[in-house]
A and B are shown apart, each in its own frame.
Chain A
Amino acid sequence: MLATSPPAAGAAPDLLALIGFSKSFAGFTALDRVDFTLKVGEIHALLGENGAGKSTLIKAMTGVVARDAGTMRLDGIEIAPRSAEEAVRAGIATVYQEVNLAPNLSVAQNLFLGRQPTRFGLVREGEMRRRARALLAEFGLSIDIAAPLESYSVAIQHIIAIARAVDQSARVLILDEPTASLDAQEVEVLFAVMRQLKARGIGIVFVTHFLDQVYAICDRITVLRNGRLAGSAPVADLPRLDLVRLMLGRELSAATGRRPPHEARAPSTAVAAFRGLGKTGYVVPFDLTLRAGHVVGLAGLLGSGRTETVRLVFGAERADCGAAQVAGQKASIGSPREAMALGFGYCPEERKTEGIVAELTVRENIVLALQARRGALAPLSRREQDAIAAKFIRLLDIRPPDPERPIGLLSGGNQQKALLARWLATAPQLLILDEPTRGIDVGAHAEIIKLIRDLCAEGMALLVVSSELDELVTYADEVIVLRERAHVARLTGAQVEVPAILAAIAEVPSSASPPVRAA
């Protein structure tokens, strides 16, 4: 594992230093003694998968959540902001992916909200506009500052948010996934602004999941994994493959041994096949074939288009091109209902917002999809519901084994099992699982992996999104690697190995400009 390398002699002085940051929520450790150092004029990439602790770290250093332990020094002086407002006053400003400005206000009002120049209590509109124009001119932006913010692209909104932060004398600027919804040209504009801020000595924490961007602009990389510091190094010392390994790599656990090779098996019938399925600005068109008794894994970094792919397959998002064939018949899938009628099931990644209905009982959550497919007028009797709930509680070992408990009171792993039960109750031909083992305890991991294998053996087709590569290779027959919303590699049979997947994820796309500082 990579150690934190000591600062080079004569390097820029430390601007911000976090020592031993810890935070846990209701027994779940989100941050575990994380250290982080930002230098003057440094662009510092903060990387990690979902749940690695990036956003908790950002929230803890800007006072949005209270940390359990840890100290923070800005310019050597200890600070402890208790709110975003206090952090801004101390000199630490954050620009979120969802730009946190008022979309309906003018650009000028957004830049100066709460600190507009006034005379006799009245806002000096002319003066404010003059200052707004001057401020944006510093960033090479010449736009109508009287227009509402929402009339501009997200890229411009980001720059406006950055300008507001910098104008409030920010020393440290945290950019939380600013590039997630920008196109290449817009990213360049943003980078120009970032370089300019760097030249002014402002330290930038840059959260992104695009590796090219990390190598194009960053000086240093810090990687978090499972709430811990996985490593921190100058960009030049951390080649792509090592970086990806740092982000995704995990010690293989003995509990999940490798599944026997399946080359011997004859290719089974296709349950569903998609040709050129895609949506502009969402996922680049792809081909995908799902077979009975076959697991297709989707691998890639966060934001690479894995979730987007499965949402198109399930009809949760409407594709604007491509064709689908289900059981040999041409099919159109425009909504989850239509997908379900074809025998599809989908466990989304966002368990709380898209999966469980927290206040309903375990039983009600389990029967929900089956009931929806049967229609409101063909209710399952209470006895049938009880039987289904009891069967899956036993089969999946859902705890506590009480079907009448509100599901929101269960642990994450048991909620996940209940959601799996919801779809298994519909006896699907194709089951789509998006990060089935995210945010659940270790014991439940092994159980869910075993379940995936069993379902596969029973002849179900599975499409699984997972960041747990070492787990993925133990059950997948085929792994599709995604990068920047496109399917870039397809590994089958013996090729399904962690190093091969990592290499495909880390590969420099030929079309992109070469990274500036890659070793």
Chain B
Amino acid sequence: MIRSLSRLTPVLATLAVFLAGFIACSLVYPNFASLRVVMNLLTDNAFLAIVAVGMTFVIISGGIDLSVGSVIGFTTVFLALAIERWGVPPLMAFVLILVICAAFGAAMGAIIQYFELPAFIVTLAGMFLARGVSFLLSTESIPITADLYAHLSEHAFRFEGGSRLTVPAMIMIAVVLAGMVLLHLTRFGANVYALGGSRQATALMGINVARTTVLIYTLSSVLAGLAGIVFSLYTSSGYSLSAVGVELDAIAAVVIGGTLLSGGYGFIFGSFLGVMIQGLIQTYISFDGMLSSWWAKIATGLLLFAFIAFQQFTLHLARRSRRAPAGVHP
């Protein structure tokens, strides 16, 4: 029991930071502690949380995916063009884009695996490619006027007091839950952790490392595509410059959520909390009205440093006690 608690320490720390932040905000602004604020947090950060789920898989496996922001941008442009210009039914367009994203992610995963190249640089090329193609498709912001979009943005669970759980937020919650099931309760999830722990050992244990790697990047790109769909619902438009730099926000959220950037450890729920903390900072700044937006970046940077330093410290402790007798844990 104590042992499993210690594994959860990073996530608990993230949870504590979030709760402390929320309480602090509520003390400063009494109307902060409302269901409406919470619901807005969920809606405004839905696409980021979806991407962060995929990024969590990638980072736990010991990789990184820099292409996700560009994939979101590409997705919104593709959807806008497909629905508005090419007359593709929206649902059909959704399916199409997810298939394209899956192929894109699989290709990156395959290159990383078979050419033994660093994920960082391969997904960097993917980032250029996806952004470049979306520029080629269109450089304008294209509004999406399809009925489905209007319906979906109207559709929401309404609570008393006017707060709404919107479709993007519902999709996000579903993705987070599904991600938790996939990572923590399936063989695939265990393989992802094993890859991050030791790639070589995983192969020697008879796990198909190549297949797992390709699947991980496929998953990340598909979730980025889904995030793009959600983003287009949220903005009702497609724009090739949307979601620039989202990969950084997602990586930051994953790290703040307690996932080790070198792989092997982490939780989806932590990444979700990491996204919520970033959203909280933004919300606080907008409540304040006087405070400038750059504080969000500085605060995120400080949190990143704090969590990375904390991880480095616990790793150091773990290494020191490696020769500890049986039953003793770091």
Contact = CB atoms under 8 A, between A and B. Distances in A.
Q: Does B associate with A?
A: yes
Interface of A: 84-85, 88, 96, 99-105, 109, 113-114, 116, 118, 121-123, 125, 143-144, 146-148, 150-156, 164, 281
Interface of B: 3-4, 7, 181, 185-187, 190-191, 193-194, 196-198, 200-207, 264-265, 318, 322-330
Give the interface centre of B197, B207, B264, B325 by most chain A CB atoms within 10 Å. Answer: B197
B186 A122 contact: yes
Given A146-B4, A150-B318, A151-B329, 9 more contacts: A84-B203, A85-B206, A100-B198, A100-B200, A105-B197, A113-B202, A122-B185, A143-B326, A154-B323
B193 A105 contact: yes
Contacts of B318: 150
Contacts of B264: 102-104
Contact of A113 (B7, B185, B190, B328): B190
Nearest to B7: A148
B198 A102 contact: yes
A230 to B, nearest CB: 29
A146 B330 CA distance: 14
A103 B265 CA distance: 11
A113 B329 contact: no
A113 B327 contact: no
A183 to B, nearest CB: 10
17 contacts: A100-B201, A102-B201, A105-B197, A109-B194, A113-B191, A113-B202, A113-B207, A114-B187, A114-B191, A116-B190, A123-B190, A143-B326, A147-B3, A150-B322, A151-B328, A151-B330, A155-B326
Contacts of B201: 99-102
A181 to B, nearest CB: 8
Given A147-B329, A151-B330, A153-B323, A121 B206 contact: no
B97 to A, nearest CB: 26
A85 to B, nearest CB: 4
B180 to A, nearest CB: 12
Contacts of A84: 203-204, 206
Contact of A153 (B4, B203, B204, B325): B325
Given A100-B205, A105-B193, A114-B205, A151 B200 contact: no
Nearest to A112: B190
B181 A122 contact: yes
Contacts of B187: 114, 116, 118, 123
A208 to B, nearest CB: 20
A127 to B, nearest CB: 13
B194 A152 contact: no
A102 B206 contact: no
Nearest to A84: B204
Contact of B327 (A85, A122, A143): A143
Contacts of B198: 100-103
A281 B4 contact: no
Contacts of A281: 323
Closest 8 CB pairs of A and B: A102-B197, A151-B329, A104-B197, A102-B194, A104-B264, A85-B206, A100-B201, A100-B204
